[in-house]
Structure 1
Amino acid sequence: MHPDLSVIAAYVMPELPLRASDVGFLFGTRHGVEEFCLAAHALWERGMFRVLLVSGGVTRGDTRPEAEVIGARLVELGMPPAALVLETAATNTGENVILGRAALAAQMDLSKVGSVLAIGKACAMRRYLMTLERHWPGMALSGCPVNYFGVATECWHEHAEFRSRVLAEYEKIPGYLERGFLSELAGYGAYPRNPLASASASTAA
């Protein structure tokens, strides 16, 4: 792999320890729903969280909110409905956290929540965590990246869609930071400036 691609991957897809947390937070998706549900169910069975917040509203391609689709499948897999909090209005990642936190607050005392385990797309894990840091600061964060692309994560640059999504995440993070949508993660490295031109050239070769 080109060295610049390794730098980008380390930033966009940081490796976080998987720790038992007060709340699991599954960011809604229309892609890889089965993989997401299997991952979340396995974490719940291991006792990695006691409550799972699933946030996602209506998006293109389905009239049902993402959270309802995911929640229904999780119940089919054996999760009790009482363990689920579904937020069904969010249409972007910021709303996932803002509206998801409000939905959770309607059902439990947020003062008792000190840790969050984020479950989301491997290619966007940095952005999920940075959004949590911005809109729900003070939480101890861990992450479960879900890779639904059918290739190993370390081979992301060899898969057209996976590569496209990782590079898109890398490109948009500075603008999101400038607009106040995200907060940087302490201890996980600064944004790697200007490797993209040579990295893109290496993937096109």
Structure 2
Amino acid sequence: MVDRSARLPTEAEIAEINARHLIETPLQPADLLFVFGTREDVGERVDEACRLWSKGYFRWSIVSGGITPGSNRSECEIIAEVMTARGIPADRILREHRAMNTGENVIFSLPLIDAALGLKNIRSVICLGNTWTARRYPMTLQRHWPEVEKMLVMVDSFKTPRALWHTDPEFRRRILFEWDKIEPYKAKGFIAEWPVN
């Protein structure tokens, strides 16, 4: 895949990304919060997980993410530790420590969720991740776990408002890089269309 993330998007592409990639879903209480691992904006991710917990938006969570270059601790360990320190009970956080990408986040987490909770008992999931990756989280879940209802919550530390992502060079680069993965990943069967109309 050619990296075209340095391009300036057209007005039509900006509108399409805003409408199809940066999807705002109505939020309602869910059975599970799926926290996708990251090295970027960990604080923002934990803040949002804690906010959702305090408002009763989930009963269980899973944090998924392996050890990335330059660290001797998994993304899961780092994120889950702070979530616990901030008041989310440790026994409500399932942990997956091996995943190195979004596909592995889901593939490696599903057996853990099934063993602990039973996949059939989970009807709704809130996906929590970076703004720029956006709908690729629920699209990956849709590919491997189509039965469950999916909601999307995005976080980032950019000062630029989400709708104006294209005006910030780094925000624009990250979103275009992820947006350009969608069709090739669908063609390879890594992800499935979401939301399903």
TM-score (norm 2): 0.91
Aligned to 1:156: 165
- 1:181-196 matches, within 5 Å, as 181-187=190-196
> Among residues 108, 114, 133, which one is paired with 2:142 in the alignment?
133
Q: Secondary structure at the match of 1:94?
A: helix
Letter in 2 for 1:149: F
> Aligned partner of 1:175: which letter?
P
- TM-score by structure 1 length? 0.87
Give 1:94's aligned residue.
103
| Residue 58 (structure 1) aligned with residue 41 (structure 2) | no
- Within a 5 Å distance, the mapping from 1:1-205 to structure 2 comes to 2-187=11-196
> Post-superposition shift, 1:187?
4.3
RMSD: 1.4
Q: Could you say what secondary structure the match of 1:123 adopts?
A: coil
User: 1 CA distance for matches of 2:23 and 2:58?
Assistant: 21
Which amino acid in the other structure matches residue 88 of structure 1?
Answer: H
Residue of structure 1 equivalent to 2:4: none
Stretches of structure 2 lacking an aligned partner (at least 5 in a row) = 1-9
Equivalence for 1:198:
none
1:12–1:169 CA contact under 8 A, matched in 2? no
Instruction: Determine which structure has the larger helix proportion and give its number.
Output: 1
Question: Residue type matched to 1:66 in 2?
Answer: E
Post-superposition offset of 1:139: 0.8
Number of equivalenced pairs: 188
Q: Which runs of 4+ in 1 moved over 4 A?
A: none
Q: CA, structure 1 residues 134+187, in 2 after alignment: closer, same or farther (shift >3 Å)?
A: closer
